[in-house]
Every structure is written in C-alpha cells, then in structure tokens.
Amino acid sequence: MNTKLTILGFNSAIPTINSSPTAQLLEISERHFLIDCGEGTQVQLRKAKAKFSKINHIFISHLHGDHCFGLPGLISSFRLLGRETPLNVYGPKGIKEMLETIFRLSETNKGFEIVYHELNSKNSEKIFEDNKVEVYTIPLEHRIYCNGYLFVEKPKERHLNMDEISKYPEIQSCDYHQLKKGKNFILKDGFELKNETLTTNPTPSVSYAFCSDTRYSEKIIPIIKKVDLLYHESTFLHDLKEMADYTGHSTALEAATIAKKAEVGKLVLGHFSNRYLDTSVFQVEARTVFENSFVPTILQEIYF
C-alpha cells in the first residue's frame, strides 16, 4: 500500500469558495492520521470519500482557529455516525479545556471516549508508536505554542524469495514469518541458510514531516533530515519577509531553503495568504532554491 497524503485545505486564516484552512489526511501503513482540522474539514473529508471510522488519531499543531475550529463539528459527526471506539487527540495544553467547554455548553453527549494527549515540551518528543509507525513532535516558532509532526514508518519485513525457498522442502509456511524478520534458517543437518539467499530487501520505509505555522527556523533541520516529503508553510513571498517574521510565518523562499538544507525528497507548500490570487507564484519562488517544490490543489492526493 502506497503512502498517501490528501490535501483537505491549504489556506491561511480565511476560507474561500474554492479552498479551506489547513487540514490533511495521511494514510501510512494502513493508519489514517488527520493533521490539523480547520473550519469545514469534515466536509472536505466527505468530498475526499474518507472513512470517518478509520480516523483514530488527530494531530493539532496549535490552537489558532484555522487549525482547530473544525474539530468540534467533526467530533459531533463522529457521535451522530455511531462511533464507539476511542479517539486520540494530540495538541497543545488547553485543547482539552477548549473542546470539553464546547461540549458542556452545547450539552453534547459524545458517546465515545476522547483520549487527550496534551503537549507542552519545547523539545522534540515521541508521542505515538505502534508496530508500524512512530510520530514525533517538531517544535516550531510561532506566536503561540506550536508543533509540527514527523511521521516515520518503521522498517518493513523482507520479501520471500520463493524460487530459492522452494529448493528446501524443510522450509514450511510456518517459517515464513521468521524469514521475513531477517532470521537465518538452519537445516536438519545443521547447515545454516543465510537469510539474504532466501529473501530480498524490503520495500523502503517512508517519512513525512508536517511543519505548520512557523518563522524560519533551522533548528528543525536535524529532525526532518532527508524525509521523503515535507510540508512547510509559506504564507508570504519573500518581499514580505518582515511581515512574515512579525506574524510568525515563513516565505516560500524560506520554506525552500529549509527543504534544501534538510535534503528532503519533495516540498509541498501551503498556508497561503489570501492577498495572493494566483498561488503558482509560491512555486515559482520556491523553485529558485529547491526545484522539487510544489503548490498543491484542493483534495489533491500525493503518493510517496
């Protein structure tokens, strides 16, 4: 299964008729992670034909409205759709108070458990791990406490070389799991078959870094080094660098500089100011520094 990132929204603070605030759906190793949840995210999920029941983990970068105001509505929809399984919400300290206050005042009976993972560390930390994926925070420099998120796929199992395995009747299907894990096989006569003769290399693992609202900061480079795909906000073009610094944002040129220095595979830009009617100008500026830079379209599916 290919890793897929669906761009649900890439606008900055104000939604438009044709675009929405920040929200992304990452499908990696059969997990479905929602990243940020601006206004209208649940509508965008519907348009993308996403299955709400598969979303068990939501990662919120910070508590500005264009990154989290869609969350109460989405959770209410989960309830109306009969959800019973727990929902994990990761975000800055205060996200629990914000949501629970809304639910209390609106007399919303959720009907399922919300497990809050409130964050306050200014250092990168592992916040999620299962047998296939790890997730780390990426501390960012915005006007309020803000994190990006790094998603890392764990090493995959090796592939069976059935042409070679078939030469040894002693190897049964019950042995395949150990072979996929890289174990050698010992024949009854004591001869040890090396794993590399019975298997081939696994499919390479992938990584994705989501860098939400932030000033230009080279502190993140060691964390995102050589990721396959990087999303980095680029609210302004570089002629408005002073405004970017003042508001806690980056320019397209700065996002591209981070991508180049971090040696990432591909850069996706976003969080564009509404002052720009033609977003292609961000791609043009970024490519002067990092050629593999792209401006997405709404509901675009990016495979990597």
Active site residues: 66
Angle of helix 280-287 versus helix 252-262 axis, rounded to 10? 40
Length of the chain (residues)? 304
**Residue 200, strand partner residues:** 159
259 Cβ contact list (under 8 Å, min separation 6):
230, 232, 267, 286, 289, 290, 292, 293
100-123: string of b/e by CB count within 10 Å (b at 16+)? Answer: eeebeeeeeeeeeebeeeebeeee
89, with CB counted inside 10 A (0-12, 13-18, 19+), is buried
